[in-house]
Amino acid sequence: MHGRASIADFFKPRRRCGIYVLRFSNEEFYVGQAVDVTRRYAQHRKTHTDIVQMAFKQVPTSKLDEEERSLIWRLEQAGWPLRNVTFASMPMGESDFDLVMPPEEQERWLDDLGYVDDGGERLIDPELQRRYRRRLQRFLDMPRAEEALDVLRTYIKVGVPAIRRGEVSFWSCSCLPTKDVYSRVNIYWQEVFTVSTSLNDLWFSLHLARSPLEKALGNRESPLLKRHPTLRYIDHRYVPGGQDQTNYEVRGARAARELLADEDVVRGIRLFNLRLMQKGPCTYGRYHCMDLADRLVDS
């Protein structure tokens, strides 16, 4: 397909809605969806000059998202290198985060669960600090605030790479002292850890990679639930995190600390968060509560 400007001659006008796969000259691939694949191909040609092959499957409009996610996940599982960002779990190539934490350090952080990357300097931004200062005091006035801080502090320590160097740019913590939510930790385009309250107790929700759990425990939930009796699976995922993603919720600060000491869980957290950082900067940095971060990072 080198040099082909259009594929209009391949598809009749009413048979152009579906899922396609592009193969590039460097043996990378891209999975996409299109209502009109001929128009989408022409758009790709403007940014990808190395398309050498394309496969296409007709799919109804209502099934496009489902089919695209499913195919991306199957190809990732099979080890195909994908250029996709949306719906993909594993980013390809160099990233901005590599300039903050070199790839060899990233690998060490994934492999050595005792390694906490808290070196370097933190950002100084008086205006950002001023903006959310009052929220921290409201946070501290909430019941179980110290317990919430302790679990948040543990999560940052075990689950976030480049804690100081990546603050604001690649991870943020928002201070949300309402009747339901205390705080969220955000990476890239999504929340990864949330502290909330219900039934007069603290609840902790976390998104993590599923593959490390499956590698250690198989496809069964029961071993993990036996270890952590208040843990429950939530059928939810965010698009930025890709298909290798699962969501759990645990009740109580003590149970949350036990969960964050579980090596299988920590491996899932670390892999998921690192992949998100490799995808790009944190879009929620403008909501970062620096006074809250002081208590999480410097305590």
Q: What is residue 123's DSSP assignment?
A: P
Percent of the chain whose predicted confidence (pLDDT) is above 90? 66
This prediction's pTM: 0.77
What's the rounded Cα separation, in Å, for the pair 128 and 254? 32
Provide the edge-to-edge strand list for the sheet that holds 190-198: 171-175, 181-187, 190-198, 201-208, 246-251, 232-234
Residues of the chain with CATH 3.40.1440: 8-88
Per-residue pLDDT tens for 27-72?
Answer: 989 999 999 999 999 999 888 888 999 999 999 999 998 898 888 8
How confident is residue 242, by pLDDT bands cut at 50, 70 and 90?
A: confident
Q: Are 265 and 257 in contact (CB under 8 A)?
A: no
Tokens representing 96 are 């901005």
**Residue listed under structure tokens 């099979």:** 78
CATH architecture observed for domain 8-88: 3-Layer(aba) Sandwich (3.40)
Q: Are 151 and 257 in contact (CB under 8 A)?
A: yes
